[in-house]
């Protein structure tokens, strides 16, 4: 059976410049919010990802046409406002598809949306979404795996989006969109403060929505009878930026990461600094210099502005090579440790207990055939392969393709020995038993 995999020969130091793509986690709720627009919408810096393609297919089901322009912008326009059903086949692939619920309800008065799917990273209930929309006046029921919501006109009210593991990001997006067309004022307390929610709010403001408090835990929305079109540029992907910085930290070398917003990764930079790398932070760029083994640290994944859970797996890969014992806790998705078993196949020493992992760092990992169990786990295995002795083969690329634009090509341009190949028959990692070249050599610091 043919299978597409990444083949990585470890031990290559990274050097050069790389540019961050547009944010996946901002693009998806913004695409869903385009249902609210009564005139065409043009989006730029939209990443060409499997998740984006999936959501565009969901929108097509809902009567939304989309066309990429020669300049790369995506033009979106409603051609049939009578449709209100987002089916299971597509929504079950990706949790972010559930973000169409709020816009559909607000714009068309009815929404029939399949309960969501997505990465296997632990339970993520939608109770907060449904309770908040019900508080806005929606009648909601669940039947045969679908959420059925209806309302002649939503009413502004106070809703709280704080959950047991922090604010609901997709819940905040759903309620924020619905409130833009509710009668009166809606106050969202315990709102998610992620930059992606702030970017969604700016997009809605460009449509004509009146929103205050973006970037804080309390957002106020004054509902409008209608919203127009807009031109909007999606923010850079802070998770991709973090992945690239961690790639440089694990492989060693000097890498210039461009096209990001440093403020969006400030806690990541603090933690990286603690590992011993050198960082030069500018306006829209960061240069990282990594020499020698990283120092052991303690990392806790928290809602923004904390270190994101979406970087927890990549941190585990780095700390598997740290000098000493490290501890990682995930307070957002406590069960998000499926990648630990795959890293252990490469020799990593990881012990799991509840929502924490203890990692005993090693001088190096060993190449192996490993499988991505979810999107960020795939990124962690790629990063581990950069520093491993011998050859690593990573399968399960359908997960990686959901969130990274040509990650292997970007790493290759930095000097990594990584290629995407189609394997036929059994996959056996060709691990080189000879001593690998030194992963890190002495280098100057800033």
CATH number at residue 350: 3.65.10.10
In terms of domains, do 46 and 142 share one?
yes
In terms of domains, do 137 and 257 share one?
no
Whether residue 413 is predicted with pLDDT greater than 90 in this model: the reply is yes
SS3 411: helix
- The answer to whether residue 432 sits within a structural domain is no
Q: What is the DSSP string of 381-404?
A: HHHHHHHSBSEEEEE-HHHHTTT-
Last residue of a domain, one of 213, 233, 253: 233
In terms of domains, do 297 and 362 share one?
yes
Domain count, the chain: 2
- The answer to whether residue 436 sits within a structural domain is no
Lowest-pLDDT choice from 92-96, 135-139, 377-381, 385-389: 92-96
For residue 59, what is the DSSP state? H
Last residue of a domain, one of 168, 201, 233: 233
Lowest-pLDDT choice from 9-23, 182-196, 419-433: 419-433
Condensed to tens digits (0 to 9), the pLDDT of residues 50-87 reads 999 999 999 999 999 999 999 999 999 999 999 999 98
Identify which of 66, 144, 128, 56 has the alpha carbon closest to the alpha carbon of residue 93.
56
State the angle between helix axes of 195-207 and 24-33 in degrees (0 to 180), rounded to the nearest 10: 30
In terms of domains, do 349 and 327 share one?
yes
Last residue of a domain, one of 233, 259, 279: 233
- The answer to whether residue 440 sits within a structural domain is no
In terms of domains, do 168 and 91 share one?
yes
- The answer to whether residue 307 sits within a structural domain is yes
- The answer to whether residue 446 sits within a structural domain is no
- The answer to whether residue 441 sits within a structural domain is no
- The answer to whether residue 302 sits within a structural domain is yes
Annotated catalytic residue: which of 5, 119, 177, 291?
119
In terms of domains, do 201 and 304 share one?
no
Q: H or E stretch including 88?
A: helix 88-91
Whether residue 123 is predicted with pLDDT greater than 50 in this model: the reply is no
In terms of domains, do 7 and 59 share one?
no
Give the separation between CA 389 and CA 251, rounded to whole angstroms. 11
Whether residue 435 is predicted with pLDDT greater than 70 in this model: the reply is no
* 119 a catalytic residue: yes
| pTM of the complete model | 0.93
- The answer to whether residue 442 sits within a structural domain is no
pLDDT grade for 48, boundaries at 50, 70 and 90: very high
pLDDT grade for 439, boundaries at 50, 70 and 90: very low
| Domain that includes residue 355, residue range | 2-21+236-424
Give the separation between CA 384 and CA 348, rounded to whole angstroms. 10
**Three-state secondary structure string covering 172-216:** HHHHHHHHCCCECEEEEECCCCCHHHHHHHHHHHHHCCEEECCCC
**Number of other CB atoms surrounding residue 235 within 10 Å:** 23
Q: What average pLDDT does range 317-322 have in this prediction?
A: 98
In terms of domains, do 229 and 255 share one?
no
In terms of domains, do 12 and 154 share one?
no
In terms of domains, do 144 and 48 share one?
yes
Give the separation between CA 364 and CA 320, rounded to whole angstroms. 8
In terms of domains, do 130 and 206 share one?
yes
Condensed to tens digits (0 to 9), the pLDDT of residues 219-245 reads 999 999 999 999 999 999 999 999 999
In terms of domains, do 168 and 243 share one?
no
pLDDT grade for 117, boundaries at 50, 70 and 90: low
């Amino acid at each position: 059976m043919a299978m597409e995999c990444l083949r990585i020969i470890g031990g290559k130091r990274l050097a050069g410049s790389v540019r961050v793509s547009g944010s996946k986690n901002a693009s998806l709720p913004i695409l869903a919010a385009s249902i609210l627009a009564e005139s065409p919408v043009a989006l730029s810096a939209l990443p060409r990802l499997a998740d984006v393609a999936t959501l565009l297919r969901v929108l097509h089901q809902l009567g939304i046409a989309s066309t990429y322009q020669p300049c790369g912008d995506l033009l979106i326009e409603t051609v049939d406002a009578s449709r209100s059903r987002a089916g299971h086949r597509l929504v079950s692939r990706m949790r972010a598809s559930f973000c169409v619920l709020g816009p559909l309800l607000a714009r068309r008065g009815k929404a029939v949306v399949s309960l969501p799917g997505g990465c296997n990273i632990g339970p993520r209930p939608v109770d907060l979404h449904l309770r908040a929309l019900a508080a806005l006046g929606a009648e909601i029921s669940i039947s045969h795996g679908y959420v059925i919501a209806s309302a002649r006109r939503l009413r502004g009210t106070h809703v709280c989006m704080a959950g047991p593991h922090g604010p609901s990001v997709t819940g905040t997006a759903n309620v924020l969109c619905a409130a833009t067309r509710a009668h009166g004022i809606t106050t969202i307390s315990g709102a998610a403060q992620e930059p992606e929610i702030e970017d969604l709010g700016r997009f809605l403001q460009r449509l004509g929505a009146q929103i205050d408090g973006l970037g804080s835990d309390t957002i106020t929305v004054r509902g409008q009878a209608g919203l127009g079109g807009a031109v909007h540029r999606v923010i850079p992907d802070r998770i991709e930026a973090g992945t690239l910085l961690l790639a440089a930290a694990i492989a060693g070398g000097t890498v210039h990461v461009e096209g990001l917003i440093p403020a969006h990764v400030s806690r990541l930079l603090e933690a990286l600094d603690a590992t011993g790398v050198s960082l030069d932070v500018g306006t829209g760029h960061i240069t990282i210099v990594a020499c020698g083994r990283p120092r052991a640290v303690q990392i806790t994944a928290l809602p923004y502005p904390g270190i994101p859970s979406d970087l927890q797996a990549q941190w585990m890969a780095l700390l598997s090579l740290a000098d000493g014992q490290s501890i990682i806790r995930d307070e957002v998705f406590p069960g998000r440790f499926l990648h630990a078993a795959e890293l252990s196949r490469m020799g990593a020493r990881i012990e799991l207990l509840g929502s924490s992992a203890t990692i005993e760092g090693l001088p190096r990992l060993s190449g192996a055939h490993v499988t991505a169990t979810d999107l960020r786990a795939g990124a962690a295995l790629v990063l581990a392969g950069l520093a491993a002795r011998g050859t690593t083969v990573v399968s399960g690329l359908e997960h990686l393709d959901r969130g990274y634009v040509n990650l292997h090509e970007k790493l290759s341009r930095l000097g990594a020995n990584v290629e995407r190949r189609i394997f036929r028959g059994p996959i056996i990692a060709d691990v080189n038993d000879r001593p690998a070249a030194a992963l890190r050599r002495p280098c100057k610091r800033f």
